[in-house]
Amino acid sequence: MKFLKVLPTVFCLTLVAGAMFTPAAKADDWNRKTTITFSGPVEIPGVHLAGWGVLPAGTYVFKILNSQTDRHIVQIFNKDESVCYATIMAIPNFRLKATDKTVVTFRERPAGQPEALRAWFYPGRQWGEEFVYPKAKALAIAAETKTPVLFVAEELPVEVAVPLTADAPYVAQMKTAPVMAYQPTGAPVQLAEVVTPPPPAEMRASLPKTAGNLPLIGMFGLLTLFAGFAVRQIRSTIS
């Protein structure tokens, strides 16, 4: 009978340990879903729906389409995510200090023209998405803003009749198409000259993960001690 009393204790410890180390899914983390409100019209790059090259003031949802490659594809939806306005090629760009709020940067344009979308930084991350423009538009914006602007060296459509899906041929092309930048003078330069890449993936992954797991490691040690004690109790009861 004592064996039956001790057995549930061991079983409960096993369940607690399993619950402690089951990763909690964060719905908005893997795709970085972010709701953003623009107070004025914003020009966007990428492959957009016909007539939506400039988004009017309003609320939009930004999401990563595919985060498994170093070439990120960002999609912009309406507020309820029923319409995808644009699918945009982006390059990881590094910043020195992360913030706890979403940051969207723009390229200031001449008076009377909408601001041009430049980059999107998700809260808590030091690297964000630097948006890539079509060649002709990138050249014009670089001259207007006196700053380098990224462009895709291959020809991609500017407008489409229906939103792009993850398996669309143009999306696959975005993942491999070479990216360069136009200087304000109109001279093309290599990407590395204007974009700071994030640290190596293994360094980004290992440091936070190790630090974040220290409390769990300590808890696991305590659970192991309790489990060992329970096993000894079972053995002494049987013998």
pLDDT of the residue at 201? 54
Inform me whether the pLDDT recorded for 131 exceeds 90: yes
Token readout for 106 is 């723009």
Instruction: Band the pLDDT of 207: cuts 50, 70, 90.
Output: very low
pLDDT confidence tier of residue 155, bands split at 50, 70 and 90: confident
pLDDT band for position 105 (cuts 50, 70, 90): very high
What is the tens place of the pLDDT at every residue in 158-185? Answer: 889 988 888 888 888 888 889 999 999 9
Q: How far is Cα 88 from Cα 52, in angstroms, rounded to an integer?
A: 13
Distance CA 78, CA 60 (A): 5
What are the φ and ψ backbone dihedral angles of 38, each rounded to 5 degrees? -100, 135
Q: Whole-model pTM above 0.75?
A: no
- Can you read off the two tokens belonging to residue 208? 């936070």
Backbone angles phi, psi at 6, to 5 degrees: -80, -35
Q: Domain boundaries in the chain?
A: 2-24+202-238, 34-198
pLDDT tens digits, one per residue of 49-71:
999 999 999 999 999 986 566 67
pLDDT confidence of 203, banded at 50, 70, 90? very low
Q: Could you write out the DSSP letters of every residue in 104-120?
A: EEEE--STTSPEEEEEE
Residues 6+ apart with CB under 8 A from 181: 138, 142, 148, 149, 150, 151, 188, 189, 190, 191, 193, 194, 195
- How much of the chain exceeds pLDDT 70, in percent? 68
Q: Confidence class of residue 112 from pLDDT cuts 50, 70 and 90?
A: confident
Per-residue model confidence (pLDDT) at position 166: 83
Nearest of 12, 102, 115, 11 to residue 62 by alpha carbon: 102
Q: Tell which wins on pLDDT, 3 or 88.
A: 88
- What confidence score (pLDDT) does residue 68 get? 62
Q: Is the pLDDT of residue 202 over 50?
A: no
> How many whole angstroms separate alpha carbon 62 and alpha carbon 46?
13
Output the six-digit token pair for 35: 């709701």
Give the residues across from 93 on adjacent strands. Answer: 128
Backbone angle region of 51, left / alpha / beta, with phi > 0 → left and psi within -120 to 50 → alpha: left
Cβ within 8 Å of residue 45, ≥6 positions away: 86, 88, 89, 116, 117, 131, 132, 133, 134, 137, 138
- Quick: pLDDT tens for 2-53: 433 433 333 333 333 333 333 333 445 778 899 999 999 999 998 999 999 9
